[in-house]
Amino acid sequence: MHDHLLSLLIWLPIAAGVVVLLLGERNIAAGRWLSLAASFVALALCVPLWRDFNTHTAAYQFVQKAAWIPRFHAYYALGVDGISMPLVVLTALMTVPVLIAGWQVISKRPAQYYAAFLIMEGLMIGVFSATDALLFYFFWEAMLIPMFLIIGIWGGPRRVYATIKFFLYTFLGSVFMLAALIYMYVKAGSYSISAFQALPLTLTEQRWIFAAFLLAFAVKVPMWPVHTWLPDAHVEAPTGGSVILAAIMLKMGGYGFLRFSLPIVPDACRELDLLVITLSLIAVIYIGFVAIVQQDMKKLIAYSSIAHMGFVTLGAFLVYAIVKATASTQGAGMGMDGAMVQMISHGLISGALFLCVGVLYDRMHTRQIADYGGVINTMPVFAGFMVLFALANTGLPGTSGFVGEFLVILASFKASFWYAALAALTLILGASYTLWLVKRVVFGPVANDHVAKLNDINGREFLILGALALAVLLLGVWPEPLLKIMEPSIQHLVTQAAATKIPV
Amino acid sequence: MNLHSIAAAIPEIYLTAAICLVLLFEAFVGARRPGATGTLTLLVLVIGAALTVVFADVTHRVVLFDGSYVADPLAFVLKLASFLSVAVALLYSRSYLQGRDILKGEYYVLALSALLGIFVLISANSLLTVYLGVELLALSVYAMVAFDRESGVAAEAAMKYFVLGAIASGMLLYGMSIIYGLTGTLNLDGIAVALNAPNNLGVILGLTFIVVAVSFKFGAVPFHMWLPDAYEGAPTCVTLFIGTAPKIAYFALALRLLTHGLGGATVDWTRMLTPIAVLTLVVGNLVAIVQSNIKRMLAYSTISHVGFILLGFIAGTASGYSAALYYTLVYVLMTLGTFGVVVLASRKGFEAERLEDYKGLYRRDPLLALAMAMLMFSTAGVPPFVGFWAKLRIIQALWETSHPWLVIIAVTMSVVGAFYYLRVIKLMYFDEASESAPETARSFGVRFALGLNAAAVLVLGVLPAPLLDLCSRVIH
C-alpha cells in the first residue's frame, strides 16, 4: 500500500469530486456526506504517511514511478521528503474544515462547490508530491481551474475581476517557469527534478532560470510587488476559497523556492539573494503598514498573509548570508527550518482567521470592520477563538506562530544584525494590525443592533475552530516532531544550496 | 500497372467514385428525402476510413504515378484524421442546415470534393499535384461559404475569399514556375536533389512566392485578411468545416513543399517565416481580445494558433515538424468542438454569434457549457487538457534549436490568449442569462458526439503519450 499511498491521496479526492459532480445538485445530501467522508479518508491516509516516515534520510519516500510519456522521459513519479510531507498533511488537514464550513452556508450549486474543493485537494497534493517536473507543472497549472471557478462562481460582487486577475497573474508567472523547465529538459534529457538538481549550468543560464522561477514563485507567494492579485482574490473569494488560497496555495510559492530555485540554480541564488531578502523585508515592513489601515477584515488578513509569507522567503534565502558570516554550513539551515514551520503555522492560523471572518460574515453579511464592535458580548465562545488566533498571528509564544518567526529572526541575527532588526519590526507591526483588528471587532461595547442580535457559534463551527486551535497550540508548544521530520531534508538542501553547479 | 501496385492510392480513387455516386443519389433520391444524402455521405466516410486502414496503411514510402503521388505513414495518419474531422463536421452541421432549410445534397458533394482535394494535397509529390489539390480544395470551399444563397453576408465573404484566394493561387503558381525553371523538374524529390547546392537568388525569389502562398492558405499575418471575414460570413457549419480539415491539408502543403521539396533552402524559408510567425502570434492574440463576435474571435484565435504551427516549422528539425503536426491535429480536435458548440447554441432566426449570447449558458444547458469550458481551457493551453501538450511540444522544439526569443514571445502570447478564452467561460458560468436567449439544440446524437469530443480533449491531455508518439514516429 505504501507504494500507492500518494497516488491514493491524489486520486481519491478527485474521484470523489467527480462522483459528487455526477450525483448533481439533486442528490446534494448524499454528495455532502460523500465529500466529507472522502476528505476524512484522505486525512486518515496521512496517518501512515506520518507514522511510517523515515526521519533519518533526505531521500524521497513512498515513491512510485510509472511511465507517462516514455518518448520524452516524463514519468508519473511521486515521492515525499521532509519538506513536502508536512505540506501534504497540511493540505489534507485544511480541506476538512473548508468542507464543513460550507455545510449550510453554500446554497448556490453546492455539489459543484464540494466537487471543486475535492478536486483542488487532489491536485494540490499532486503538486507537493510530484518528483517529476512535468508532472509537477501539470498539477500546478491544473489547480488554477477549480480555483478560478470557485472565486468566479461563489465569490463577491467584484468576483469576475478578481478571478481573472488571479488566473492571468499566476498563469503569466508559470508559463516562464514552464519555458525554463523545458529548457532544462532539453539539456538534461529528463524531467526528473533530481536530474535538474544535478544538472551543471553556467551562471548566465542560472540567472535566466532563476528569473523564470522567481516570477512563478513570487507571484504565488506572493512577494511585493507582484502581490496585488491576492487582496482582490481574498476579498472576493468565498470563505472556503480564501482558506485554501491562504493556507495551501501561497505555500506552493515557498515550496517552489525550496524545491526548485535553491537546489537547481544555487549560484544564481547566491548572487541574487540580496534581491529576495530585500523584497521579503519590504513585504514584512511595508505590507505590515498597509495592513494597519485596512477597513475590510479579509483584506487585512490578506495583507497580513503577504507579510508573514515574507518571513518564508526571507528564511529560505538567509542561508547564503549565514554561510558567509559563520563560514560554515553548520546551522545554516535554521532559516529554512523557520521558513518551513512558518508555512505550516501560517497555513493553520490564516486558515482559521479566514474561517472566523466567514463565521461573522455568514451572520452579518459584511466584512467592514466599522460594522462590528463588541462581538464578545454576544458571541463569547467565538471571541475566545478569534483572540487566540489573532494572538497566534502576532507570534505569541506558545502558539505555532511564535516558532516560525522566532527561528527566522534568530537566523537573520546570524546573517546580519540589520536583517534581524528589520525583520523584528514585524513583532510590532503584526501586533498592531492584528490586535487593533481584534480591539475594534471583538472588544468594546456592542456597536449596533445587528451585533446585539448575533448568535454564538454552533457545534459545527466550534468543531472546526476548536480543532484548528488545538493544532496551533500543539505546534506551538511541541514543534519537535515537525522539526525532526524536516531535519535531514533541510540539511541536504543546505548542502545543495551551498554547492556550486557552474561547470569548470 | 496492376491493381496491387496502386493499392496505396485507393482512398483517392474510392473518394472520386463516391462523389459521383453521391451526386447521382442526390439527383434521383435526394429531392424526395432531404436527409438521405447526408446519411449516405457519413456511410461513405466510414467505408472510406476502413478502406484507408486496409490499403493505405503503408510501412514505408511508396511513390506512384510517375513520381507525382506519394503514400507514407504520415499521409496515412493525415488522411484518417481528415476522414474523422470531416465526418464530425458533417454530423454537427446537419441540424444546422435542416433548421435553415438549406439541407441540400450539394453541400455533401462539395464537402466530399474538398476532402478529395485535401487527400491530393496530402499525397502530393509533384508541383502539379500540389496545385491540383490546392485548387480542388479551394474551389469546393468557396462554394461552401456561399452555400446559403439567401445570405448577402455569406456571398460577400465568399467573394472576398475567392478573390484573395485566387491571388494566392497565382503566387503559388508563379513561385512554382520559377522553381521549375531553375531545376527543370516538377517532381518534389527531383527538386530536393537539385536544390541541395547553395542557393542562388532565383531560388529565393521563387521561394518567396511560395512562402507567401503558404502563409495565405494558413491565414498567417499579414496574409490573414480573408480569414476573419470568411469565418464570420459563412454559415456556422461551413466555418466549422473550413476551420478544421483544410488545416490538415495546409500542414501537408507546407511539409511537402517547404521541408521536402525545398528542404535545401530551409535556412532561407525559416528566415522568412520567423517574422511572419511572430506577427501572426501577436496580431492574432491581440486582435482577438477586442472582438465581440465569437466567430470572429475564434477566427483570430485560429490565426494565433497558426503562429504556433509555423513556429514548429521554424525550428527546422524533425522534432519541430512533428510538434507542428501534433499542434495541427490537436487544433483540429479543439476547433471541431468549439464550433460544434456554436452550431448547437444557434437556432433558426437566432445565430449565437455575439459573445453576449453565451451569457449564462450554464443555466440553459450545463452540458454544452461544460464542453465549451473544457475546450476553452484546452485552447488556452492549460493542463490537464490536450492543448497544453501542443504548446509544450512547440516550445521544446524551439529550445532544441536555440530560439530563446521565440520561446519568450510564444509563452507571453499564450498568456494574452488565455484572457479571451477565460472571458467565454466567464460569460457562460459567472454571468446571468439574458431572458431572450432560446433553447439550445437537443438532438441526442450530436450532443453525444460533442461530449465525446470534449472528453477526448481531457483524455488526450491526461494520457498524451500515444498521440505524441504517433506524431514523432511518422516524421523522420
Q: pLDDT, tens digit, for every residue of A72-129?
A: 889 999 999 989 999 999 999 999 999 888 887 788 888 889 999 999 999 999 999 9
What residues of B are in contact with residue A186 (Cβ under 8 Å)?
396, 399-400
The residues that bridge with A66 in the sheet, in sequence order, are A76
Task: Write down the pLDDT at residue B456.
Answer: 94
Task: Write down the pLDDT at residue B458.
Answer: 94
Which of A72, A113, A201, A226 is the best substitution to test chain B (most B C-beta atoms within 10 A)? A72
How far apart CA B28 and CA B469 sit, in angstroms, is 46
A401 vs B120, higher pLDDT: B120
Task: Write down the pLDDT at residue A243.
Answer: 92
**What cell does A239 get?**
470563505
Angle, helices B201-218 vs B266-289, to 10°: value is 30
How far apart CA B376 and CA B297 sit, in angstroms, is 12
Whether the predicted pLDDT of A157 surpasses 90: no
Q: Are A143 and A249 in contact (CB under 8 A)?
A: yes
Residue A350 CA neighbour count, 13 Å, CB half: 32
Whether the predicted pLDDT of B256 surpasses 70: yes
Q: Please, is A108 exposed, middle or buried when counting C-beta atoms within 10 Å of its C-beta (0-12, 13-18, 19+)?
A: exposed
Distance from CA of B55 to the nearest CA of A (A): 28
Q: What is the DSSP letter of A457?
A: P
What residues of A are in contact with residue B418 (Cβ under 8 Å)?
167-168, 171
Task: Write down the pLDDT at residue B141.
Answer: 93
Q: Which of B411, B465, B469 comes nearest A175 by C-beta?
A: B411
CB-CB under 8 Å, A179 with B407 = yes
How many Cβ atoms are within 10 Å of A380's Cβ, its own excluded? 12
What residues of A are in contact with residue B388 (Cβ under 8 Å)?
138, 141
Task: Write down the pLDDT at residue B199.
Answer: 67
Average pLDDT over residues B438-453: 81
What residues of A are in contact with residue B395 (Cβ under 8 Å)?
178-179, 182
Asked if B451 has any chain A CB less than 8 Å from its own CB, the reply is: no
CB-CB under 8 Å, A144 with B382 = yes
Distance from CA of B160 to the nearest CA of A (A): 37
**What cell does A335 get?**
532559516
A2 vs B371, higher pLDDT: B371
Whether the predicted pLDDT of A221 surpasses 60: yes
pLDDT digits (tens, 9 = 90+) for B331-380: 999 999 999 998 888 877 777 788 888 888 888 888 888 999 999 999 99
Asked if B205 has any chain A CB less than 8 Å from its own CB, the reply is: no
Distance from CA of A133 to the nearest CA of B (A): 13
Q: Please give, one letter per residue, the 3-state secondary structure of B237-250.
A: HHHHHHCCHHHHHH
CB-CB under 8 Å, B468 with A71 = yes
Residue in the structure block whose three cell numbers are 504520415: B74
Residue in the structure block whose three cell numbers are 493542463: B383
Task: Write down the pLDDT at residue B197.
Answer: 67
Distance from CA of B123 to the nearest CA of A (A): 27
Task: Write down the pLDDT at residue A320.
Answer: 87
CB-CB under 8 Å, B418 with A141 = no
Whether the predicted pLDDT of B437 surpasses 70: no
Whether the predicted pLDDT of B196 surpasses 60: yes
Task: Write down the pLDDT at residue B63.
Answer: 87
**What cell does B65 get?**
504515378
Q: What is the torsion angle, in degrees rounded to the nearest 10, for the CA atoms of residue B161, residue B167, residue B168 and residue B171? A: 180
pLDDT digits (tens, 9 = 90+) for A230-261: 998 988 888 888 999 999 999 999 999 999 99
Task: Write down the pLDDT at residue A1.
Answer: 64
CB-CB under 8 Å, A70 with B465 = yes
* Three-state secondary-structure class, residue A80: strand
Please give the share of chain B, as a percent, with pLDDT higher than 70: 97
Task: Write down the pLDDT at residue B151.
Answer: 84
Contacting residues for B325 by C-beta, under 8 A, at least 6 apart? B74, B251, B255, B312, B471, B474, B475
Q: Which of B383, B414, B465 comes nearest A69 by C-beta?
A: B465
User: For residue A153, what is the nearest residue in chain B, using CA coordinates?
Assistant: B430
Instruction: Name the pLDDT band for B421 (thresholds 50, 70, 90).
Output: very high
Please give the share of chain B, as a percent, with pLDDT higher than 90: 60
Q: Which of A138, A153, A163 comes nearest B383 by C-beta?
A: A138
pLDDT digits (tens, 9 = 90+) for B91-128: 888 888 888 877 788 889 999 999 999 999 999 999 99
Q: Are A156 and A235 in contact (CB under 8 A)?
A: yes
Phi, psi of A150 (to 5 degrees): -60, -50
Asked if B367 has any chain A CB less than 8 Å from its own CB, the reply is: no
Asked if B405 has any chain A CB less than 8 Å from its own CB, the reply is: no
What residues of A are in contact with residue B417 (Cβ under 8 Å)?
none
pLDDT digits (tens, 9 = 90+) for A286-332: 999 999 998 888 899 999 999 999 989 998 898 888 888 887 777 78
pLDDT digits (tens, 9 = 90+) for B52-86: 898 888 888 888 888 889 989 999 999 999 999 99
CB-CB under 8 Å, A160 with B383 = no
Task: Write down the pLDDT at residue B400.
Answer: 92
What residues of B are in contact with residue A70 (Cβ under 8 Å)?
465, 469
Task: Write down the pLDDT at residue B367.
Answer: 87
* ipTM score: 0.91
Write out the H or E segment, with its range, that includes residue A163.
Answer: helix A159-188
What residues of B are in contact with residue A144 (Cβ under 8 Å)?
382
Counting the structural domains of chain B, the total is 1
How far apart CA B445 and CA A491 sit, in angstroms, is 60
Please give the share of chain A, as a percent, with pLDDT higher than 90: 41
Choose the weakest-confidence range: A168-177, A180-189, B199-208, B374-383: B199-208
Provide the domain limits for residue B64: 4-475
Instruction: Name the pLDDT band for A279 (thresholds 50, 70, 90).
Output: very high
Instruction: Name the pLDDT band for A177 (thresholds 50, 70, 90).
Output: very high
Q: Which of A149, A159, A182 comes nearest B395 by C-beta?
A: A182
Q: Which of B383, B407, B469 comes nearest A71 by C-beta?
A: B469
Asked if B375 has any chain A CB less than 8 Å from its own CB, the reply is: no
Task: Write down the pLDDT at residue B436.
Answer: 67
pLDDT digits (tens, 9 = 90+) for A452-499: 888 888 888 888 899 999 999 998 888 888 888 888 999 898 888 888
